[in-house]
Structure 1
Amino acid sequence: MAQTDQLAARTGVTAGRSVDGVVARMRALRASWPSTDGVAVFNNVYLTVTEEVGRRIEGRQFPDPRDATTLDVAFAERYLTAVDAVAAGRRPPACWRPLFQHRRHPGVRPLQFALAGINAHIGHDLPLAVIDSCRLLDCEPAALEGDFHRVGDILERLEEQIREELMPGPDLLEIVDPFTHLIGSWSLERAREAAWSAARILWTLRELPVLAKEFRDGMDANAGLVGRYLLTPLR
């Protein structure tokens, strides 16, 4: 119980939280931010994904709804904790700083904001959410691998729709256009694979806190570096 309480105090992740609860938070954020805000662009994308996951959990498309809910909520609360940190004047994790710093930059396009947010959330938050969930559910990462991939598959299926909705007009999509090169250089599939590997490594390092912290810090910094690249102003 003490470990669970410490986890909740550190990350905001608690047992028994609902997908509806995090969806309500994201909807409230959508209502409070202008649509041109870069964080709002990502929030709208992530809200769509979370709503879809919630529908599938309710439709019994996950073998264990409790496990799926725990992972989905732990994942979402990592993002919401970053939002709360910025609102309170604190620094969010390094992976989120580029998006919050550039959220109103006129030279960054909506799809860049969306991909930068997905990169931060997959590259840093997802491995940590797996570990959070394992501790809450008292299980090994292998027990959550199926749910991990099911959630990832939903995101990948929605990614094409996201790109179509946020792409500029066809005249800007020439192969020589820097924007085309930029958005084509990041892969959700590779990011998912790296996130699962990172989760397994972190679980192996759980009894070695110094090494685990070094690994988490490096993962955070790397995701932040990729985020800055994705948010390169192009006009």
Structure 2
Amino acid sequence: MAQLERITGARIPAQGVDSVIARMRAVAAHLPPQDGVAVFNRIYLSVTEAVDHAIDQGAHGGFPDRGAAVALDVRFAERYLTAVDAAAVEVRPPACWRPLLQFRSHPGVRPLQFALAGINAHIGHDLALAVVDTCRALDCEPAALEDEFDRVGDVLVSLEERIREELMPGPDLLQIADPLTHLLGSWSLERARDGAWAAARALWALRELPALHTEFAQRLDASAGLVGRMLLTPLPAFPG
């Protein structure tokens, strides 16, 4: 890690976490609260603000290498923001984000589903590519970013916890809404996080084989999109 600190000391992205937060706030300001993207954005913004505070604390906040942490966090968030920007100008976004962007106003999709679909897209596709982007920018191997990856993973766990606290229906409704209960149990953040790290290492190993690298990234994107579509299966309205 000391070697990586020397590499990254002066290489914090010009567009830092503050810029990412400003862009998320702009997204929130232009969307109705019930919009599916707004639901995910609202919770992701609050967690990103907490990450920014932790990064500023350095080692005391769990991020001993501030440069590497900012580099990874910004490139990770940029992939989500780029997808939202693309949809706003009717440019086709990555497959992983299409289900959320297509179903964002569907009356049969619950807020909890919107939030989980956003996490799925962000971890199932964006996280692995963000690791590779950061390795290229910092001229390092994925192993040099493992501490930062693990810390980001811890943040994502807090994101999932916050989503469940704020958006999960009460136990009585969950007992009645069996389809939602089934969807909640069908997706695991821990498995998605492990898969993202394995995918990042595979993509890095394929960097000298452009055709295979592109094919692997496309299949990763398509797989995340398929899972997202299942998470957004419209459900019957809860009993009043």
> TM-score of the superposition, structure 1-length normalised?
0.92
Q: For this pair of structures, how many residues does the alignment match? A: 222
Q: Which amino acid aligns with 2:127?
A: L
Q: Does 1:196 align with 2:197?
A: yes
Cα distance change, pair 176–29 in 1 and its aligned pair in 2 (3 A)? closer
Q: Paired residue for 1:116?
A: 117
Aligned to 2:175, the other structure's residue is in SS state: coil
Q: Which moved more, 1:78-87 or 1:163-172?
A: 163-172
Q: Paired residue for 2:9?
A: none
Q: Does 1:127 align with 2:128?
A: yes
Q: After the TM superposition, which residues 187-226 of structure 1 pair with which residues of structure 2 at under 5 Å, given as runs? A: 187-226=188-227
Measure how far apart 1:16 and its partner are.
2.5
Is residue 69–residue 148 contact of structure 2 (8 Å, CA) maintained in 1?
yes
Is residue 124–residue 220 contact of structure 1 (8 Å, CA) maintained in 2?
yes
Q: After the TM superposition, which residues 135-146 of structure 1 pair with which residues of structure 2 at under 5 Å, given as runs? A: 135-146=136-147
Q: Does 1:234 align with 2:232?
A: no
Is residue 37–residue 103 contact of structure 1 (8 Å, CA) maintained in 2?
yes
2:91, 2:221 → 1: CA distance? 16
Measure how far apart 1:176 and its partner are.
7.0
Q: Which amino acid aligns with 2:55?
A: I
Measure how far apart 1:231 and its partner are.
0.1
Measure how far apart 1:184 and its partner are.
1.4
Q: Which amino acid aligns with 2:121?
A: A
Measure how far apart 1:169 and its partner are.
2.8
Q: Paired residue for 1:99?
A: 100
Q: Paired residue for 1:32?
A: 30
Is residue 37–residue 114 contact of structure 2 (8 Å, CA) maintained in 1?
yes
* CA RMSD after TM alignment: 1.3
1:175, 1:195 → 2: CA distance? 34
Aligned to 1:201, the other structure's residue is in SS state: helix
Output one character per residue of 1:86-123: Cα deviation in whole Å (capped at 9) or x when no partner: 11111000000000000000000000000000000000
Q: After the TM superposition, which residues 162-181 of structure 1 pair with which residues of structure 2 at under 5 Å, given as runs? A: 162-174=163-175, 177-181=178-182
Is residue 16–residue 70 contact of structure 1 (8 Å, CA) maintained in 2?
no
Aligned to 1:174, the other structure's residue is in SS state: helix
Is residue 95–residue 224 contact of structure 1 (8 Å, CA) maintained in 2?
yes
Is residue 17–residue 70 contact of structure 1 (8 Å, CA) maintained in 2?
no
Q: Does 1:89 align with 2:90?
A: yes
Which 4+ runs in 1 deviate beyond 4 A? none
1:205, 1:149 → 2: CA distance? 22
Structure 1 gaps of 5+ residues are: 1-13
1:98, 1:21 → 2: CA distance? 26
Output one character per residue of 1:142-166: Cα deviation in whole Å (capped at 9) or x when no partner: 1111001101112213322320210
Identity in percent: 70
1:98, 1:216 → 2: CA distance? 18
Cα distance change, pair 119–179 in 1 and its aligned pair in 2 (3 A)? same
Cα distance change, pair 189–175 in 1 and its aligned pair in 2 (3 A)? farther
1:49, 1:166 → 2: CA distance? 15
Q: Which amino acid aligns with 2:157?
A: E
2:159, 2:52 → 1: CA distance? 15
Q: Which amino acid aligns with 1:152?
A: G
Q: 1:44 aligns with which of 38, 42, 45?
A: 42
Q: Which amino acid aligns with 1:113?
A: F
Measure how far apart 1:206 and its partner are.
0.1
1:175, 1:89 → 2: CA distance? 38
Q: Which amino acid aligns with 2:18?
A: D
Is residue 175–residue 181 contact of structure 1 (8 Å, CA) maintained in 2?
no
Structure 2 gaps of 5+ residues are: 1-11
